[in-house]
C-alpha cells in the first residue's frame, strides 16, 4: 500500500464500510433498479433508522440540548418555586449625581415629556433618556400603550407590578406565570439562542450562582412602556434581573437593571420585593376589556 496521511486513510476506510453496509442492506436492490431520487429518499430514511452516524459514515445530527443545571443549582432554583405576591417596588433610579444632559438637550432634563398620565418613574426615566428617546416619548400616543390594549409591556414593568407570580422549574426551563394579563415567561438554563423575530417578551436566559438567580432578557421589539410604565424603549434594550431569597425563604429580593444604548444615556435600576403567597394560592385568568382600559384617556 502506498504511503498516505491519516485523513486519506480515514476516507478510504469509511468508503469501504459504507459500500459494505449498502451491499448488505435493503438499499442494494434499489441501487440497481430504482431512480436516483428514489434512492436518495430511501437512503435518508434508512440512515435515520439504522444509525449510520454511529459508524462515523455521515455527519452526526446535533443532539437535543441537555440540561445545563447541576444538581446543586437545580436545588437552589427549586427553592424559588411557588406563588409570590409583589409587595413593594422602588421606581427606576439613575445615579446620585445626575449625568450630563445628552448633546443637544442642555437644560432638557428639567422638562417633562409632553404626555398626560405619567407617574414619577416615567419622569425620572425621561431625565436619563437620549435625544432620540425623548423624541419618541414626546410623540407617543397613550392609546398605543400595550397595557391600554390589554397586553403586557414586558419586563421590567411586568416583573414589578403588584400582582401574583407563579414560579415553577421543569427540566432546564423556569416558567413564571404573571397574573397581569395572564402572561407567561420562560427562562432557559441551557444557553439556547433566540429564534425568530423580536417579541414583546423577548428571549430570556438564566443562570444560578452563589444563591442568586439571574435572568437576562434580550431580543425584544421596540415598544411603548418598555423602560417604565409608559416610557418607550428601543429594540436594542436588555433587562437583567437578579433575585435572592430572604433568610427564612418566605421572601424574594430583586434588582432589575435596564440598558438601552439607543434611548437611555445610562442604565436604570429598580428594586422589587415579593412575599410567598398563602398555601393553595393560584394565579387565575386576567379579565381585561380594551375599550374599558382606554376609557380614562377620553
pLDDT of residue 55: 36
Confidence band for 12, pLDDT divided at 50, 70 and 90: very low
Q: Does residue 102 surpass a pLDDT of 70?
A: no
Confidence band for 298, pLDDT divided at 50, 70 and 90: confident
Q: Which position has the grid cell 409591556?
A: 153
Q: Is the dihedral of CA 260, 262, 267, 273 positive or negative?
A: negative
pLDDT digits (tens, 9 = 90+) for 82-91: 999 999 877 6
Percent of the chain topping pLDDT 70 = 70
Mean pLDDT of 21-50: 43
**Nearest in space to 213 (alpha carbons), one of 248, 240, 193:** 240
pLDDT digits (tens, 9 = 90+) for 241-257: 999 999 999 999 999 99
Percent of the chain topping pLDDT 90 = 62
| Domain covering 71-297, topology | Lipocalin (2.40.128)
Spacing of C-alpha 165 from chain mean position: 17
Q: Does residue 15 surpass a pLDDT of 50?
A: no
pLDDT of residue 120: 85
Q: Are 67 and 172 in contact (CB under 8 A)?
A: yes
Residue 215 CA to residue 209 CA, distance in Å, equals 12
What percentage of the chain's residues is helix, strand, coil (to nearest 5)?
30, 25, 45
Confidence band for 65, pLDDT divided at 50, 70 and 90: low
Q: Are 269 and 92 in contact (CB under 8 A)?
A: yes
More confident residue, 271 or 38: 271
Residue 37 CA to residue 34 CA, distance in Å, equals 8
- Phi, psi torsion values for 210, nearest 5 degrees: 55, 40
C-alpha distances in Å from residue 284, one per residue of 86, 159, 165, 267: 16, 17, 10, 34
More confident residue, 190 or 13: 190
DSSP conformation class of 223: B
pLDDT digits (tens, 9 = 90+) for 162-175: 999 999 999 999 99
Q: Which position has the grid cell 425563604?
A: 249
Residue 139 CA to residue 155 CA, distance in Å, equals 22
Tell me the three state secondary structure of residue 112: coil
pLDDT of residue 261: 98
Confidence band for 95, pLDDT divided at 50, 70 and 90: very low
pLDDT of residue 62: 35
**Nearest in space to 22 (alpha carbons), one of 1, 2, 50:** 50
More confident residue, 240 or 97: 240
More confident residue, 21 or 112: 112
pLDDT digits (tens, 9 = 90+) for 153-207: 999 999 999 999 999 999 999 999 999 999 999 999 999 999 999 999 999 999 9
Q: What is the CA radius of gyration of the chain?
A: 27
Residue 16: partners with Cβ closer than 8 Å, 6 or more residues away = none
pLDDT digits (tens, 9 = 90+) for 278-292: 999 999 989 999 999
**What DSSP element (H or E) covers 28?**
helix 27-33
- The model's pTM is 0.73
pLDDT of residue 110: 52
**Nearest in space to 165 (alpha carbons), one of 177, 175, 152:** 177
C-alpha distances in Å from residue 266, one per residue of 53, 240, 262: 51, 14, 10
Residue 18 CA to residue 41 CA, distance in Å, equals 17
pLDDT of residue 244: 98
Domain edges within the chain = 6-55, 71-297
Amino acid at each position: 500500500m502506498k504511503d498516505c496521511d491519516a485523513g486519506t486513510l480515514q476516507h478510504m476506510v469509511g468508503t469501504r464500510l459504507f459500500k459494505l453496509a449498502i451491499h448488505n442492506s435493503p438499499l442494494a436492490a434499489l441501487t440497481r433498479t430504482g431512480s436516483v431520487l428514489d434512492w436518495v429518499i430511501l437512503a435518508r430514511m434508512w440512515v435515520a433508522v439504522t444509525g449510520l452516524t454511529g459508524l462515523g459514515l455521515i455527519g452526526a445530527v446535533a443532539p437535543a440540548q441537555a440540561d445545563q443545571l447541576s444538581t446543586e443549582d437545580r436545588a437552589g432554583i427549586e427553592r424559588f418555586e411557588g406563588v409570590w405576591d409583589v409587595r413593594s417596588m422602588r421606581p427606576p433610579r439613575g445615579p446620585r449625581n445626575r449625568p450630563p444632559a445628552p448633546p443637544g438637550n442642555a437644560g432638557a432634563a428639567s422638562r417633562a415629556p409632553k404626555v398626560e398620565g405619567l407617574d414619577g418613574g416615567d419622569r425620572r426615566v425621561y431625565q436619563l433618556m437620549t435625544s432620540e428617546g425623548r423624541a419618541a416619548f414626546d410623540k407617543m400616543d397613550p392609546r398605543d400603550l400595550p397595557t391600554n390594549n390589554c397586553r403586557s409591556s414586558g419586563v421590567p414593568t411586568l416583573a414589578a407590578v403588584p400582582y401574583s407570580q407563579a414560579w415553577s422549574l421543569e427540566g432546564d426551563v423556569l416558567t413564571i406565570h404573571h397574573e397581569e394579563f395572564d402572561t407567561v415567561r420562560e427562562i432557559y438554563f441551557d444557553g439556547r439562542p433566540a429564534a425568530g423575530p423580536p417579541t414583546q417578551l423577548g428571549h430570556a436566559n438564566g443562570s444560578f450562582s452563589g444563591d442568586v438567580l439571574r435572568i437576562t432578557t434580550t431580543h425584544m421589539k421596540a415598544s411603548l412602556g418598555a423602560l417604565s410604565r409608559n416610557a418607550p424603549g428601543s429594540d436594542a434594550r436588555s433587562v437583567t434581573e437578579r433575585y435572592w431569597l430572604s433568610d427564612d425563604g418566605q421572601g424574594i429580593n430583586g434588582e432589575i437593571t435596564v440598558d438601552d444604548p439607543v434611548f437611555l444615556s445610562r442604565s436604570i435600576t429598580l428594586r422589587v420585593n415579593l412575599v410567598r403567597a398563602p398555601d393553595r394560592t393560584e394565579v387565575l385568568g386576567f379579565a381585561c376589556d380594551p375599550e374599558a382600559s382606554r376609557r380614562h384617556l377620553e
